[in-house]
Amino acid sequence: MDPSTMFGLNMYFLIGLLLAVAIVLALIIAICTALKIWLWRNKRLRAEREVRQVRYRPDGQLYPPASRGLCDRCSQAYDKVYHLPSGKRLCPDCYASAEGAYDAGPPKAAQTL
Ligand SMILES: [Zn+2]
C-alpha cells in the first residue's frame, strides 16, 4: 500500500477515535451532573420536610414559639417548651394532649411535599 494512503487512513482512524473519546467523556460528565442534581434535589426536599415537621403541626398549623423551660402542666424542665398565646408553657407531650393530638387528622403537611 502507498505510504500516503496509509497516512490518510491512520488520520481518519485517529480522528474517529478522538471523536468517540470526546463523546464518551461528554456522556460521563452529563450522567455525573444529572446524578448530582438528582441527589441535591432529594437532599433539599428531605431538609425542607424536616424543617416543616419542626415548624408545622401534623394538621398543617404553625407551632407556637418555643424555648427551653418548665412545663406548666407536668412541672418538668424540657429543651423545648411551647409558649401559648394564653401565657401557658407546655412541653411537646402536654401540648399534643392539650390540642387533642391535633384533632387526630391525617398528617397533611407531610404529604403535601
Ligand atoms: Zn408537660
β-sheet bridge partners, residue 67: 81
Note the pTM of the prediction, 2 decimals: 0.54
In this prediction, residue 109 carries a pLDDT of: 44
CB atoms within 10 A of CB 98: 13
CA of 91 to the centre of ligand 1 (A): 4
CA dist 1 and 11 (Å) reads 15
Instruction: Output the pLDDT for position 103.
Output: 54
The pLDDT-based confidence of 2 (bands split at 50, 70, 90) is confident
Cβ within 8 Å of residue 92, ≥6 positions away = 78, 80, 82
Ligand 1 centroid to residue 79 C-alpha, Å? 11
Separation CA 25–CA 60 (nearest Å): 47
CB 89 within 8 A of CB 69: yes
Q: How far is the CA of 86 from the centre of ligand 1 (A)?
A: 16
Strands 89-90 and 77-83: antiparallel
Residue 71 C-alpha to ligand 1 middle, in angstroms? Answer: 5
Distance 87 CA to ligand 1 centre (A): 14
